[in-house]
Amino acid sequence: MTALKEIIGPIASAMHALLTNKVVILAVGGALGTNARYWLARWSSELTWQGAFPLGTFVINVTGSLILGFVGVVFLERLTPEHRDWYLLLGTGFCGGYTTFSTFEWETFNLIRDRSWMLAAANVVGSVAVGLGGVVLGVTLAGLLFPESPVPK
């Protein structure tokens, strides 16, 4: 039994060091966000009613804004600093891999280039306005679920 403890102890320490490493936390969050983005975009592209409007990117931008608003308030403003790695995982990592602002810009450019002015305008105004609404909703939801408490920043 002592030999087993001697083997497991260093393995457990190495696993803890690996799982609390900021690079690993960011990479895992980014991988999860990227996969979520891919599968949601793929699913939305199969919807026959979406037409030329980039629905997948729109939904990802809005839900990414909501998620980022929520986790920003919870892990940066409501919980104590020892929970900040969760913001790295979910806010920086997941949302960084999930949200698609550069894709939004490219798709808007293509709509303009194709002279689809109304769809381009709807994409810009809708993504910004509804995305901001997503942040407000996320912040409000976080405030309801995690009432404000004095936490040092």
pLDDT in tens, 55-88: 888 889 899 999 999 999 999 999 999 999 999 9
State the total domains in the chain. Answer: 1
Identify whether 93 is part of a domain.
yes
51: left (phi over 0), alpha (psi -120 to 50) or beta: left
Read off the pLDDT band of 54 (50, 70, 90): confident
Identify whether 94 is part of a domain.
yes
Question: Among the listed ranges 1-5, 129-133, 149-153, which one has the minimum average pLDDT value?
Answer: 149-153
Determine the pLDDT at residue 16. Answer: 81
> How much of the chain, in percent, has pLDDT values that exceed 90?
59
Q: Rounded CA gap, 150 and 3, in Å?
A: 47
How many CB atoms are located within 10 Å of the residue 150 CB? 4
Where in the sequence is the domain holding 89, given as residue range(s)? 2-145
Identify whether 58 is part of a domain.
yes
The pLDDT tens digits for 3-26 are 767 777 787 788 888 888 999 999
Identify whether 119 is part of a domain.
yes
Identify whether 153 is part of a domain.
no
115: left (phi over 0), alpha (psi -120 to 50) or beta: left
Identify whether 71 is part of a domain.
yes
Identify whether 59 is part of a domain.
yes
Averaged pLDDT of the chain: 88
Determine the pLDDT at residue 109. Answer: 92
Identify whether 136 is part of a domain.
yes
